[in-house]
Amino acid sequence: MVQLNQRVIASYHLGPLKEEETREYIEHRLHLSGWAHDPTFTPDAFSLIHEFTGGIPRKINTLCDRILVFGMLEEKHQICVEDVDEVIQDLRQEVTHSHDPLPESHLTPLAGGIPDSLAQAFLSAFESRLDRLEATQNALMLMTNTINKNVSTLMRSMFSASSSNEIIDQHDQ
């Protein structure tokens, strides 16, 4: 439920962007990461990113991450509409292979242009991954607490032994 609340809060603060805002948003995030205009994006690439994501920042982030990995692997210095389309097709194939495909007639586009079944598959995969990450985080926190307790116990015993030795040394003198 916490995950859902976080998504609702995030989507409340960042509504869908217009096409020009999508380009500005992508470029802003790239600049924050140290981007030096390599790779560049064609105007058509920005348009397709906006069309596929519906201007939703979370979806833009996810798609652009994949586009940038694709660009790096393919050693692209310019991302064009064909590159974006190829990444989108890869994403669709991943979703299709992980779920039983529905006939095209059963796909109802959302406001952002993404079919309900595709959006549901993305959400399901995301929630599953988030659950695994939270379980890992909880296990790591438990291990960290155990280590901290063991270190504290060790430090107390060392301090206690050190204090005892000082008392013995003082007594012997």
Structure confidence by residue, pLDDT tens digits, 79-102 = 999 999 999 998 888 877 655 544
Q: Identify the pLDDT of residue 53.
A: 93
pLDDT in tens, 132-155: 777 777 777 778 888 888 888 888
Least confident of 67-76, 77-86, 150-159: 150-159
Q: Identify the pLDDT of residue 102.
A: 47
Assess whether pLDDT exceeds 80 at residue 66.
Answer: yes
| Prediction pTM value | 0.51
Does residue 107 come out as left (phi exceeding 0), alpha (psi in the -120 to 50 range) or beta? beta
Where along the chain do its domains lie? Answer: 2-98, 116-173
Please answer whether residues 54 and 122 qualify as being in contact, where contact means their C-beta atoms are separated by less than 8 angstroms.
no
Tell me the CATH number for domain 2-98.
Answer: 1.10.8.60
Bridge partners (DSSP) listed for residue 115: 109
Task: State both tokens at 22.
Answer: 């999508």
* CA 88 – CA 67 distance, rounded (Å): 9
pLDDT exceeding 70 applies to what percent of the chain? 72
pLDDT in tens, 24-53: 999 999 999 888 889 999 999 999 999 999
Q: Identify the pLDDT of residue 95.
A: 75
Question: Which residues of 8-154 form beta strands (DSSP E)?
Answer: 40-41, 78-79
Q: Is the peptide bond before 115 cis (omega within 30 degrees of 0)?
A: no
Which DSSP string do the residues of 79-123 spell out, in sequence order?
A: E-HHHHHHHHHHHHHHHHHHSPPPPGGG--B-TTS-BHHHHHHHH
